Amino acid sequence: MSMAFKQTVTLHDGTLMPRLGMGTWHLAEGRRPERQEIAAALRAGLDAGITLIDTAEMYADGGAERLAGRAIAGYDRFRLFLVSKVYPHNAGRGRLRRSLEASLARLGTDYLDMYLLHWRGSIPLSETVACMQEARADGLIRNWGVSNFDVDDMRELFAVPGGDACAVNQDLYHLGSRGVEFSLLDWMDAHGVPLMAYCPLAQAGVLRDGLLSSPVVRRIADAHGVEEMQILLAFVLRRDDVIAIPCSGDARHVLANLRVRDIELTADELAALDDAFPAPSDKEPLDMQ
């Protein structure tokens, strides 16, 4: 393992959160046999030492949480880091607690390490923050955060009483979608909020076009003796304050992602990637898919 790779990020309360995890978006949707997704993917990752699993009540209408719950059965819960998310319309008084308890039941656990507001909705942030804080005080969650928040959303959140307890912000981030780099990451760094990068391998839709076929990406992958996917992941994890949760229902891909820990992109390689896929020079809406 590279001495340069930092395996955890320290949250504001001192909690150590793994920087490489497994996402479950698009799992439990019938694309593959459930046995393959549980045993050949999630459990392969768990057995290899990947302890962070990210899911949501939205994914497969709770099916992804049930899938993750079956995958973690028999493993030491205290060694795992489980993250789930609440729908915006469930993020208010009364409904958040019911959603949280339903997620816990599907996962087969009595607490979450992290609970996120999936995206902004009509319920006031002050109400959601109060509900999150109550759930934390009651021991149902260890930490809470948000997802799909941009810099103005984060500023508004931190202006709410208790809003500065937000532990992470989860946004789409990969080499082909670098909107978070314009102003959001700087703001989060200044306030001690790590970024959880979903779709770090550009799994979702057209944003993946051109990345895997890029001569620059291929050349760098060849130089490190890895696949193009691992270079995309290494790019996202080049910053010590970023957490990545690539999704896969294939054990080979899950285990291949572990090779990112041995990849140190050089300054010249980062410059080449930056030239081929530049960061935005102006503020732009964040991608969500």
**Residues identified as active-site:** 59
d(Cα 238, Cα 145) in Å, to the nearest integer?
A: 22
| Look-up of token digits 């799994």 | 203
What are the angstrom distances between the C-alpha of 41 and each of 93, 213, 243, 247, 256?
A: 36, 25, 19, 10, 11
Contact present, 96 and 132 (Cβ < 8 Å): yes
Beta partners for residue 10, in sequence order? 16
3-state percent helix, strand, coil for the chain, nearest multiple of 5: 45, 15, 40
Count, in order, helices (H) and strands (E) of the chain: 11, 10
**Angle (deg, nearest 10), helices 95-107 and 63-72:** 40
Residue 253 annotated as part of some ligand binding site? no
Q: Residues for the chain: how many in total?
A: 289
Nearest to 121 by CA among 152, 153, 94, 151: 153
| Look-up of token digits 């957490």 | 243
**Angle (deg, nearest 10), helices 125-137 and 151-158:** 60
Q: Which residues are annotated as a binding site for substrate?
A: 118
